[in-house]
Structure 1
Amino acid sequence: MSIRVGIGGWTYEPWRGSFYPKGLPHARELEHAARAVTSIEVNGTFYRTQTPKTFRAWAEAVPEGFVFSLKAPRYATNRRVLAEAGESIGKFVDSGLAELGDKLGPINWQFAPTKAFDPDDFAAFLDLLPEMAGGLALRHAVEVRHESFCCPAFLDLVRARNVAVVVADSPDYPQIADVTADFVYARLQDAKAEIETGYEAAALDDWADRARRWEKGGTPEGLRTIAPHPAGTAKKKRDCFLYFINGAKERAPAAAQALLGRLK
């Protein structure tokens, strides 16, 4: 499976009795969610350090083929000088990520909306991101949310390191849909509470088409790009990760399942 669709986290009170069957023990919510969607972005890793035991338990609770994406810790990204984040990055990478095995997906390094692009400092930060953890290859995505990143210089930095730029579908943050890595990471944050599936059917059709085009190595239309991909680059199949997150979060599971239905 090269296109995965999911939600952010699995512990959310409004999902109980709607997405989760009434009376389902809270301890079994991950198990249930992992059989309804094909990936989950874990937000808890953004706020606190997890343990190898926790990562191992998550891996054991989900079926084969399921993948977790992890939000990297805020201590690494919410700082004035990114080049000084090495200790925080190392602590996170060594906290037991390898216990997820082949269920470890990309790591999302999310930056504050006020964090502006400093070419030298951001390049130094990217150079701190490790390629491996416990024998597992790591894939990194950066979620930048300041308009100053909408420039070719930023895209040159991430392309040179095979780091993806998170594609944001949000009314609050700039969109950069340039493909810069061998995978694509999108966060869909514009769901509407009054729509049962969060997004209108036509919008879900569009996202299904975009996912297929990305997966086949193409570039979908209708999204904002900053600098064209270098000419002559061979089209290669890509893994794609799309998450319905924030927005009308109560609609996220229905949105993810509706999109998965279109991709089957």
Structure 2
Amino acid sequence: MSLSMVRIGTGGWTYPPWRGTFYPPKLAQSKELAFASRQLGAIEINATFYSRQSPKSWAAWAAAAPDGFQFAIKASRYCVTRPKLADAGEGIGNFFAQGLSALGPKMGPILWMLAARRKFDRDDIAAFLALLPKQLDGMALRHAIEPRHDSFRDDRFFDLCRAHDVAVVFGDDDEFPCIDADTASFAYARLQRMREDVPTGYDDASLDAFAARAKRWQRAGRDSFFFMINGAKLRAPAAAIALAGRIPI
């Protein structure tokens, strides 16, 4: 019986301080995604949060990455910053109409990142989750939601997510609460407390704890995604590679 997949990567791939540290010296910027996607198991796309991307971009990203790699996609801010999430239907439709399906099997979860000021409203969240499509052009979609207010630490929220197979993001973060709940057939973690004075971003004890969590999700038959996001971003590739080295393939 094969183990569930654990994909580990970074938030984005374009970061000038990685040139000459993670990326080889003199590597053309146009080749950075091809290089990064062969060192990492997944990358979270940040640009999609801020603006629509062209069909040409989606196709180019798919072509640059190898088979088995996946992109997580940060959903548009125009969907998640409106006063009522229940009113996001048109925005969600526009987001999925921009060409994501060009990624094919390299399309990973969609991340819906809520504003820190947004409090849990059971009816509004229920309506929003019901708007999230299950498929796109015949491909099954996975959704993850990142609440950043402690009011979401509520069994009613967890039950809604379970009903829609939506993963609640496990966030290792100094600023926002960590809401640790298994609610979906897969898991999604965003790790945001790297330190520049630690070559691997996180110390051994922290990496070991994250690896133990990944193995627990594996044993439960759940694919999982881990992204090194903020903190000392310079260390993100090394942190991702160090964590991957602790987990059996």
TM-score band by shorter chain is over 0.9
SS in 2 for 1:35: helix
Q: Name 2:130's counterpart in structure 1.
A: 127
Contact 1:94 1:133 in 2 (8 A): no
| Deviation per residue, 1:3-38 (Å, 9 max, x gap) | 000000000011111001111100000001001111
The separation in 2 between residues aligned to 1:177 and 1:150, in whole angstroms, is: 9
TM-superposed deviation, 1:206: 1.1
The separation in 1 between residues aligned to 2:97 and 2:54, in whole angstroms, is: 9
Q: Percent identity?
A: 53
TM alignment of 1:134-213, pairs within 5 A: 134-213=137-216
| Aligned residue type for 1:183 | F
SS in 1 for 2:245: helix
| Deviation per residue, 1:182-218 (Å, 9 max, x gap) | 000000001111100000011111111110111111x
TM-superposed deviation, 1:261: 1.0
The separation in 2 between residues aligned to 1:51 and 1:137, in whole angstroms, is: 22
SS in 1 for 2:243: helix
Q: Name 2:231's counterpart in structure 1.
A: 247
SS in 1 for 2:224: strand
The separation in 2 between residues aligned to 1:263 and 1:121, in whole angstroms, is: 38
SS in 2 for 1:262: coil
Unaligned runs of 5+ in 1: 218-236
| Deviation per residue, 1:152-190 (Å, 9 max, x gap) | 111111111110000000111111111100000000001
Matched, 1:110 2:113: yes
SS in 1 for 2:72: strand
The separation in 2 between residues aligned to 1:136 and 1:44, in whole angstroms, is: 22
How many residues align? The count is: 245
TM-superposed deviation, 1:51: 2.0
Unaligned runs of 5+ in 2: none
Runs of at least 4 residues off by over 2 Å = none
The separation in 2 between residues aligned to 1:188 and 1:133, in whole angstroms, is: 28
SS in 2 for 1:263: coil
The separation in 1 between residues aligned to 2:161 and 2:205, in whole angstroms, is: 32
Q: Name 1:259's counterpart in structure 2.
A: 243
TM-superposed deviation, 1:146: 0.4
TM alignment of 1:60-71, pairs within 5 A: 60-71=63-74
The separation in 1 between residues aligned to 2:165 and 2:102, in whole angstroms, is: 24
TM-superposed deviation, 1:88: 0.7
SS in 2 for 1:114: coil
Matched, 1:42 2:45: yes
Contact 1:98 1:135 in 2 (8 A): no
The separation in 2 between residues aligned to 1:158 and 1:202, in whole angstroms, is: 31
TM-superposed deviation, 1:147: 0.7
The separation in 2 between residues aligned to 1:111 and 1:205, in whole angstroms, is: 29
The separation in 2 between residues aligned to 1:109 and 1:184, in whole angstroms, is: 14
The separation in 1 between residues aligned to 2:215 and 2:59, in whole angstroms, is: 32
